[in-house]
Amino acid sequence: MDDLATAMVTALDEPAVAPGARAIAPPLYAFTAAVGGIANGFVVVTLGYVLAGRNFPVAAIAALVGLVLLPSTWRVLIGPVIDLSLTARHWFLLSAVGAAVGIGLFAAMRLDPDNLWQIGGISLVLGIFYAICATAQTAAIAITSSPVVRGRIAGWVQAGSLGGTGIGGGVGLWLATHAGMATAAVTLALLCLACAWPMLLIRTPRHVAGLPIAATIKRIGGDALSLLNTRRGLLTVAAVTLPMGQGAFINLLPSIARDWGASADLTATTTGVLSGLIVIPGCLLGGYLCDRLSAQTVLAWSSIACAAGELAMALGPRTPVTFVGFALANNVLMGVAYAAVAAAVLVGLKSSSGGTIGATLGSLSNVPLVAVTALLAAVAAPYGTSGMLLAEAVLGLVAALAYLGLAWLWRPQATGVPALAWTPQ
Reported confidence tier of residue 209, pLDDT bands at 50, 70, 90 = very low
Percent of the chain with pLDDT over 70: 85
Per-residue pLDDT tens over the stretch 140-172: 888 888 888 888 899 999 899 888 887 888 888
Helix (H) or strand (E) holding 374: helix 354-409
Closest to 338 measured CA to CA, from 245, 251, 241, 252: 245
| pLDDT surpasses 60 at 11 | no
Task: Note the pLDDT of residue 34.
Answer: 93
Secondary structure of the chain: what % helix, strand, coil (to 5)?
A: 80, 0, 20
Neighbours of 371 (CB within 10 A): 16
Whole-angstrom distance, CA of residue 406 vs CA of residue 297: 11
pLDDT of residue 155: 92
Out of 219-228, 245-254, 316-325, 339-348, which region has the weakest mean confidence (pLDDT)?
A: 219-228
The pLDDT tens digits of the residues spanning 84-131 come to 778 889 999 999 999 999 999 998 888 888 788 888 889 899 999 998
Considering only 7-21, 27-41, 233-247, 351-365, which range has the smallest mean pLDDT? 7-21
| Amino acid in position 116 | L
Give the pLDDT band of residue 225 (cuts 50, 70, 90).
Answer: low
What's the CA gap between 157 and 70, in Å, rounded? 20
If pLDDT is split at 50, 70 and 90, which confidence band does 421 have?
Answer: very low
- Evaluate the CA torsion angle 141, 94, 39, 395 in order and state its sign: negative
> Which CA distances in Å does 295 have to 226, 299, 323, 347, 416?
19, 6, 30, 9, 18
Does residue 6 have a pLDDT over 50?
Answer: no
Does 419 have pLDDT greater than 50?
no
Residue 400 vs residues 28, 162, 309, 406, 407: alpha-carbon distances, Å:
31, 22, 15, 10, 11
Report the range out of 6-20, 70-84, 103-117, 346-360 with the highest average pLDDT: 103-117
- In sequence order, the 6+-apart residues with CB closer than 8 A to the CB of 316 are 322, 326
CA separation for the pair 25, 141 (Å, rounded): 11
pLDDT score for 420: 38
Contacts of 142 (CB under 8 A, 6+ apart): 346, 349, 350, 351, 353, 354, 355, 357, 358
CA 212/CA 128 separation, integer angstroms: 29
The single-letter DSSP state of residue 294 is -
> Helices (H) and strands (E) in the chain — how many of each?
18, 0
Given a cut of 50, whether residue 416 has pLDDT beyond it is no
Model confidence at 50, pLDDT cuts 50, 70, 90, reads confident
Distances from the Cα of 205 to the Cα of 19, 23, 142, 352, 416, angstroms:
8, 11, 11, 10, 35
* DSSP helix/strand/coil, 203: strand
What's phi and psi for 319, nearest 5 deg? -135, 160
| Amino acid 336: pLDDT | 93
Give the SS3 label for residue 411.
coil
Q: Specify the pLDDT at position 10.
A: 39
What digits encode the pLDDT tens for the residues 234-281?
Answer: 888 888 888 898 888 887 887 788 889 888 788 878 877 788 788 889
Highest mean pLDDT among 55-59, 129-133, 416-420: 129-133
| Cβ neighbours for 124, distance < 8 A, ≥ 6 positions apart | 67, 68, 70, 71
The average confidence (pLDDT) of the chain is 81
pLDDT computed for residue 286 by the predictor = 92
Q: Which helix (H) or strand (E) holds 213?
A: helix 213-226
Concatenate the DSSP letters of all residues of 106-118 into one string: GGG---SGGGHHH
266 Cβ partners below 8 Å, 6+ apart?
Answer: 257, 320, 323, 324
Confidence grade of residue 65 (pLDDT, cut at 50, 70, 90) = confident
What pLDDT was estimated at residue 30?
A: 93
Statement: residue 212 has pLDDT above 80: no
* Banded pLDDT at 406 (limits 50, 70, 90): confident
Residue 28 confidence (pLDDT) above 90: yes
Which of helix, strand or coil describes residue 22?
strand
d(CA 268, CA 211) in angstroms, rounded, equals 51
The residues facing 203 across adjacent strands are 22
Tell whether the model's pLDDT for residue 228 goes beyond 60: yes
How many CA atoms within 13 Å lie on the side-chain side of 138?
38
DSSP labels, 305-341: HHHHHHHHHHHS--SHHHHHHHHHHHHHHHHHHHHHH
The answer to whether the CB of 269 falls within 8 A of the CB of 169 is no
Asked if the model's pLDDT at residue 322 lies above 60, the reply is: yes
* Per-residue pLDDT, 27: 92
pLDDT of residue 281: 92
Angle between helices 29-41 and 116-144 (to 10 degrees): 170
CA distance 86 to 93: 11
pLDDT tens profile 275-307 = 878 888 999 999 989 888 888 889 999 999 999
Q: Is the pLDDT of residue 135 over 70?
A: yes
24 vs 380 pLDDT, higher one:
24
